[in-house]
Homo-oligomer: A and B are copies of this chain.
């Protein structure tokens, strides 16, 4: 990966880049009845789909402002910043919204062991019809995990 800079907790860390946005862009996002919008997270470079989680308006704004992914936990009813506990942080390289404004797509640089709390690199490590779980599937070009 490129964009490495400095040291943080003794490790090389990726460059954090805030994402600028216009009021019009932010207003194009529509939140559901619970005030949430689904956010897909895809790995830069490999194209691997890593996870999907939910954002509310505050966590979306926080994500864009900080260049890190912030979500709203529906089960715990609290904000969480991906990797803040595990160290497996996500540095946003692109932030996108779909034609209806009701789904977000973040292209990130994934740090550490990946996105899934199970230890798998992607949360989508299980396939219908496969003989066994398959840990490295969704990438366009493999080899980064």
Contact = CB atoms under 8 A, between A and B. Distances in A.
A117 B98 CA distance: 11
Interface string A125-145: 111110000000111110000
A45 interface: yes
Copy number in this complex?
2
A26 to B, nearest CB: 8
A111 interface: no
A92 B103 CA distance: 21
Contacts of A21: 128-129
Dominant secondary structure of chain A at its interface with chain B:
loop
Contacts of A48: 47, 140
Contact of A98 (B26, B45, B97, B123): B123
A52 interface: yes
A2 interface: no
